[in-house]
Structure 1
Amino acid sequence: MPAVVSLTPAPVIDRTYFVESFDTGKVNRATEIQEFLSGKGINVSRTLRIAGVSTSAVLPVGREDEHLLFRTPFPQVLRILPVPGRMRVNTAILEPEGRTTNVNQKAVPLHERDWDAVVDMTLQEIRALRADWLVVSGSVPKLVESGEKIDFTRLFSEARRIGTRVAVDTSGSSLETWATSGLVDCIKPNADEMATLVKRHLNTVGDVLEAAREVIERAGLEVVLVSMGGDGAMVVTRDEALWGYAKAPQVVNTTGAGDASLAGFVGHSIQGPGQRGGQADYGELPALALKSGLSKAVIYGAMAVSVPTTIIDSLDGAPTAEITVPDPDRPLSEPTKFFETPSA
């Protein structure tokens, strides 16, 4: 069985307001409010836990918000490093037809000593699980002392040295920095983020495929998993590409679908001996099973949009996946948004 360690450098308190309708600039009444500890890497590990994949989720938690640990789903996967202060809050307003309005707080800065401790804890978990994948997801915080973003070089270098692939799911300048660092095996952009990486609009599935191959060639990545919303997802390597789709039982909330998709891929994409044997502390890297990984990616993504929060509590009734070669002429249902200056 594969094993996956996730790291959420900037975990969050997810606060969801359920409303009958939402009018901008007006007083709106919530019919229900849910609040829990969350973050993209935590979402990945929770989904993997449901799927029976061995996983742990490393995260720094503000001491003033530790009370949330007593009512967070699947606490057994969490590996907590207490840090000073509070955590950021992400607010979602969810309407009955599935439209979601998000207001996300910026990542809270970390002290250098705390970041070093987070790296040490993550490497400890990787060794303990003999992890096939390290998944680093979400916003990238800055250091209190320098104001610069935290540096993943030591973490990524050591993880790869001991035989663990590194997957990154972030956005803006952080995605561009680490996607091209030579220290990452996999990235999971959406179509907009893919457009930003290649600095042009993408209008068709073929455009997305060409962009992914361009980034692989430029950055030396092994694989790119592109989530495309209602247009499905693609997994792309230097020599192979597959497109996948699974019909969601219903569309309730799209937040967290990308996290579930990444969980499906890393949790089900391991098979056979690899090509870098002898460089890892515990033997050869296994080859990737792209079809199996993409199939679970689109299935888990479809399940994620059918629940009101970012937490999938069951995979019962999961749809089947359609996997085929990409149709390059197929237009994207939603035009990509290319930002000249990516946000942090």
Structure 2
Amino acid sequence: MLRRPPRECKRPRRAAPSGPDTGRRTPDVRRATTGGPPRHGSVGLPLERVSTADRPHVERIAMTAVVSLTAAPVIDRTYFVDTFDEGKVNRATDQQEFLSGKGLNVSRTLRLGGVPTSAVLPIGRDDEHLLFRTPHPHILRILRIPGRMRVNTAILEPGGRTTNVNQNPVPIPEADWQETIDMTVREIEALGADWLVVSGAVPKVAETGEALDFTRLFREARRLGTRIALDSSGTSLDVLVRSGYINLVKPNADELATMVGRHLTTFGEVLDAARHLIDECGLEVALVSLGGDGALAITRDVAWHGYAVAPRIVNTTGAGDATLAGFVGNSIQGAGRTGGRADFGQLPQLLVKRGLAAAVEYGALAVSVPTTIIDSFDELPEAVIETPDPERLLSEPTKFLTPRP
């Protein structure tokens, strides 16, 4: 069994509350602006259906405000085929193309449920035409930069098997990245955001080839009392989760195994790995997606397992984004921010459970639609929440996504 020596996390001093919570009005998403003109550039317990009070029906969705940042937006191009033969010419029966990105997918799903949200993303000005072909365009906060966006291609077969070819992120000039940070901070302030979702691949700085530095953004979000949720992969996930600023991380089982340097075979091993990461890096919550096994929501003190039965299996791409949207949109209803600054403690147990219920419901719904865009909650399934059985085996063994030392 491979193990990696523990790594020390940098933990910034938490800001003290600035005063009692006086409450805040529900923000109006239409008031958010870009701040300037467009630029050129527990084992044996019975299963439990979530009660009406706990289940986040669409008409009762939490009024949490969320800002998402997609540093590497993408043109999603999906080909639908009757059959797919590797190494041969294949015919597509249909094709769709639209502006996408993991953070944007989160914001679209939230907006469909009426949650105030905005999606910040730097767009290659050669692809601006796609802005007119995307659902909920009014939530977009665009920084126009030179060049084109990357293209991700999906080949979708009947039965839901999907083949993906994802292009590497396009490098971003340092000046454009700093302006992207400024725009994101303005959106957090404009919405009074409870969550900042940083999601997707992380580009490199055009001038140096180094990964983008999120430190200034994270410090500003923390100063404003905004929790930070992270959903990335590879080296970027490993580095950012250890920054000391992250409140929630949403890995899948393979990503979690890679981060802790050991394979995971049971729910108990997943719980241990997640809590190791929570303790090491000062996280509040680890939301671990387990594919067909559902998901686990884990804090230092509690853990819940949830799942929901999908109406059908069509396309698994984007299910993780919907899962994250469900959690951040439903986990701190009515909490608001503590006077603009926050001393972050554990989320209350009930709301972690509620957030997980929404997460697995949204994730199950997402696999029943052909693209990464959910356009209706009419078929939203019902979550089952239980105390996880540590002895239960994962349906699929984990694998490391990057070589371990």
CA shift, 1:27, in A, is: 0.3
Indicate the SS of the match to 2:235: helix
Question: Equivalences for 1:1-344 in 2 at 5 Å?
Answer: 1-271=63-333, 281=340, 287-288=347-348, 289-341=351-403
How far, CA to CA, are the matches of 2:289 and 2:126 in structure 1? 35
Which region of structure 1 is more displaced relative to structure 2, 326-335 or 85-94?
Answer: 326-335
CA shift, 1:185, in A, is: 0.7
Is contact 1:273–1:284 with CA below 8 Å preserved after alignment? no
Q: Which has the larger radius of gyration?
A: 2
1:172-194 CA-to-partner distances (Å, cap 9, x unmatched) read 11111111110111110000000
How far, CA to CA, are the matches of 2:102 and 2:361 in structure 1? 18
Please identify which structure carries the higher strand content.
1
What amino acid is aligned across from residue 382 of structure 2 in structure 1?
T
**Alignment TM-score, normalising by the size of structure 1:** 0.96
CA shift, 1:76, in A, is: 1.2
**Matched positions, count:** 339
How far, CA to CA, are the matches of 1:283 and 1:191 in structure 2? 30
CA shift, 1:141, in A, is: 0.2
1:260-294 CA-to-partner distances (Å, cap 9, x unmatched) read 000000000004669x95xx526676945101100
Is contact 2:64–2:334 with CA below 8 Å preserved after alignment? no
1:26-85 CA-to-partner distances (Å, cap 9, x unmatched) read 000000000000000000000001111110000000000000101111111111100000
Q: Which residue of structure 1 lines up, in the alignment, with residue 55 of structure 2?
A: none
Kindly, what percent of the aligned residue pairs are identical?
68
How far, CA to CA, are the matches of 1:144 and 1:153 in structure 2? 18
Which region of structure 1 is more displaced relative to structure 2, 182-191 or 281-290?
Answer: 281-290
What amino acid is aligned across from residue 80 of structure 1 in structure 2?
I
Is contact 1:199–1:340 with CA below 8 Å preserved after alignment? no
How far, CA to CA, are the matches of 1:232 and 1:258 in structure 2? 11
In structure 2, runs of 5+ residues without a counterpart are: 1-62
Q: What is the root-mean-square deviation in Å for CA atoms of aligned residues?
A: 1.5
How far, CA to CA, are the matches of 1:46 and 1:272 in structure 2? 21
How far, CA to CA, are the matches of 1:87 and 1:189 in structure 2? 25
In structure 1, runs of 5+ residues without a counterpart are: none
How far, CA to CA, are the matches of 1:180 and 1:236 in structure 2? 17
Indicate the SS of the match to 2:77: strand
